[in-house]
Structure 1
């Protein structure tokens, strides 16, 4: 179903099914600042017209109207008028526009990337395996796009670990997992060995895949993934020193490590 120009109303109205238009042109509209795909002109958005809700609660969207002559070979769409507010758009008219903009909307959601957990923490040893794992979960959001209710489900899919010492692991599908304390130091899928001592900031980036449904309709896949980073987790890497002694503190009370003996003596 298309739109026709109503001279009496001085506006575009939806064409009745089966009606034969007398206007020689076809008409369509595009969102005011839409430049194709899921992209919008950021400069245009700053000056985009506002469409206040009507008294009947109808939500308006800012559009540009285009026209094209009917039955003319090679004819192209040209700007007819606008920007103006459209209030009688139907959900089916907006589905392609929601699909075009859903990736950008998905990437702007406040998705929690999860938390970084280290074993041991907050201190670990140089040259030893430090186990890292993520706490990340599925999240759901309800947003409004072009006046339509859209339900979004975000599911963690891949993880990238930046261990803070120049080493990056991923993206890969493992979020890792905890080890019992007696197994700390074992190599795991997401563990890391620090070659130097110091303080490091570990950053987890989680890639989420999503689905969306419009007005309670079936879930549809969001084509790309959204990447979200967790707050950095600080970890201090220490070195261990092993010394052998010929006697204990009973035999040599002034020996290294004995009570009251300064460190390094």
Structure 2
């Protein structure tokens, strides 16, 4: 592993030498090299081994057939396929057990990749195929001019596993705010209120997300859901993604009609051609 091992430094005691080791950075996530004498709270220590390595010069031939491809690394570098092992911290000659992997190690100090991943994570977050959510109008697809039309959103938390700089990154996305474009030049939000469904006998009530249209016509309503995210690198602790990702639903058409009140002397049995009767010509909206 020439060129892949961190420089070994340490302090000599009366009978021992302290050389430091690998730890999980509690702030940035991922594995970092800890110099001798460092103090940390993680109860484990970590090391990596070549994937498929059985010890000495022996390798698992079946494993080699599906070994991780580490040839296309960041900046054109070529890495090594590894698995990470863990053991209780401070225990001499510990029994190592599997922690995570396989993954590619492109630098014996992988913590140097973390700032670069942090710089990319917001852009990559916005590229994720996050489902924006569903917008519902009540009543729909027709509503009345001058009446309250209730709108509400339904959006779910989502998870994604992606690669950034050839590292395994797990992303959790949670809907936190909502914005409404009602299609008539007015909008609402961002607001933490997603709204909610009303029973039919309460349609027309004012709600936190309802809207009154003052003109008739067809209007395209667009819901934009704002997601907050966290990410973890190579099984490390979750870290907050700065800012928010904004994802818009497909436009939903709402037809706004006018309401007209008329008094009639006859019902449809006496006057089948009266306005509002089946088969009679209807007034324009």
Instruction: Flag whether TM exceeds 0.5 (same fold).
Output: yes
| Divergent runs of 4+, >6 A | none
Query: How far apart are residue 57 of structure 1 and its match?
Result: 3.2
- From 96, 112, 132, the equivalent of 1:93 is 112
Q: Partners in 2 of 1:261 and 1:163 — Cα distance?
A: 33
Pair 1:182–1:170, CA change in 2 (3 A): same
Query: Pairwise mapping of residues 41-190 of structure 1 onto structure 2 (< 5 A)?
Result: 57-63=69-75, 84-87=76-79, 88-90=106-108, 91-190=110-209
How well do the aligned residues superpose, as a CA RMSD in angstroms? 2.5
Q: Partners in 2 of 1:140 and 1:201 — Cα distance?
A: 30
Matched residue count? 198
TM-score by length of 2: 0.63
Pair 1:147–1:161, CA change in 2 (3 A): same
Q: Mark the runs of 5 or more structure 1 residues left unpaired by the alignment.
A: 1-8, 20-54, 64-83
Q: Partners in 1 of 2:271 and 2:165 — Cα distance?
A: 80
Q: Which residue of 1 aligns with 2:64?
A: none
Q: Partners in 2 of 1:263 and 1:119 — Cα distance?
A: 24
Q: Which residue of 2 aligns with 1:18?
A: 9
Residue 193 of structure 2 corresponds to residue 201 of structure 1: no
Q: Which region of structure 1 is more displaced relative to structure 2, 95-104 or 203-212?
A: 95-104
Q: Which residue of 2 aligns with 1:4?
A: none
Q: Partners in 2 of 1:142 and 1:250 — Cα distance?
A: 63
Q: Which residue of 1 aligns with 2:245?
A: 226
Pair 1:14–1:183, CA change in 2 (3 A): same
Q: Partners in 2 of 1:250 and 1:113 — Cα distance?
A: 47
Q: Find the residue that maps to 1:202 and give its secondary structure.
A: strand
Pair 1:95–1:238, CA change in 2 (3 A): same
Q: Which residue of 2 aligns with 1:253?
A: 271
TM-score by length of 1: 0.68
